[in-house]
Amino acid sequence: MRKNLFVLFILGLIFSCSDDNKKLLPNSSGNINNISVVINNELWDGEVGDVIRENLERPIYGLPQIEPVFTLNHIPSKIFSGFATKSRTILKVAIGQKEAVKNLTNQYASPQHIVYITAKNKEKISELIIENLPSIYSSLYFSELKEKQRRILKNTNNTQSLKQNLGLSLKFPSAYRVAKLDSNFVWIRRDIKAGSVNLFVSKLKKTSKEIFILRDSISKTNIPGPTEDSYMRTDFSYKPNTQEVYFGKTKTMESRGLWDVKGQFMAGPFINYYIDLGNNNTVMIDGFVYSPGTNKREYIFELEAIIRSIKF
């Protein structure tokens, strides 16, 4: 009996210390999609740095101007200490005896995500990055999406309109309002200084219509332009990109491209998901931004984070 009590006491101390360590971690800092790249100057200024920049600063498809997927901030390895270690997202690259690509969490601060890459020489590091690029990229990207969703949860809109009308839910900030609502369509939007950030959800029966024809028919009916007979439509002068992605185990078609308004000088980027729910039912979720003259990466990223919070 005494032995069992002693074991329980020791376990209690271990878990207590573990909890205390988590509590003692300082808060991390850093904007969404900003990555601190910890690497010595020689590697950063050479081929390794070129490989990192080429793949992580590549332009986002579907924006009207060139914007990188990530903003990279170089931190030389020798000064990586103190406040620099509190960066929320870190890519750490170094020469070492073992070849490894590791994902670490909450090493110096919380929340924090670190991708650590090491190899015997600079040539091997470049090869390792290229070989593991899909997993490195996905790890960083989905870590940023998770952080954006965490921030959204701090102040969400509590409307039940999507659940009541469409039988699904989304987590979106309280800054958004319901602009239009009916039995199978909901449009939410938030006003920004230079325009608006928008998202519509349409539930409909499965159809053989091509995705963009379906998108344009929905927006023609529900997203009017500023004048009579004007409406939002897909801009085919910039070819939309479509690929298969997954929401959990649910296969989804993701499309990115540009929209415009018939007869008007209005345009912007969109991100669209077409989801087969089974039983002859589908859902189209479309996020689009109108903000002329401004960068739009963070708006589209916010819309993706909202859409990926969907629960059926």
Residue 232 has pLDDT above 70, yes or no: yes
% of the chain beyond a pLDDT of 70? 93
Longest dimension (CA), the chain: 83
Q: What is the mean pLDDT of residues 154-177?
A: 94
- Beta strand 185-192 with 195-205 is antiparallel
Closest alpha carbon to 38 in 98, 117, 106, 91: 91
Residue 263's pLDDT is: 85
* Each residue's pLDDT tens digit, 97-124: 999 999 999 999 999 999 999 999 999 9
**Is pLDDT at 278 greater than 90 in this prediction?**
no
pLDDT band of residue 19 (cuts 50, 70, 90) is: very low
Mean pLDDT over 257-264 rounds to 93
Backbone Cα Rg of the chain = 23
Predicted confidence (pLDDT) per residue in 46-78, tens digit:
999 999 999 999 999 999 999 999 999 999 999
- Whether 193 shows a pLDDT value over 60: the answer reads yes
**Would you place residue 248 in the very low, low, confident or very high pLDDT band (cuts 50, 70, 90)?**
confident
pLDDT (average), residues 220-244? 93
Q: What mean pLDDT value characterizes the chain?
A: 92
Q: What is the pLDDT of residue 22?
A: 53
Task: Please state whether the predicted TM-score (pTM) of the whole model is above 0.75.
Answer: yes
Q: How far apart (Å, rounded) are the C-alpha atoms in residues 239 and 241?
A: 6
* 3-class DSSP assignment, residue 210: coil
Strand pairing partners for 184?
A: none
| 18-27, 149-158, 230-239, 296-305, range with the lowest pLDDT | 18-27
pLDDT of residue 133 exceeding 80, the answer is yes
Q: Which pLDDT belongs to residue 119? A: 97
pLDDT grade for 23, boundaries at 50, 70 and 90: low
Handedness of CA 39, 44, 46, 48 (dihedral sign): positive
Q: Where are the beta strands (DSSP E) in 106-249?
A: 113-119, 177-182, 185-192, 195-205, 232-234, 241-247
Confidence of residue 26 (pLDDT cuts 50, 70, 90): very high
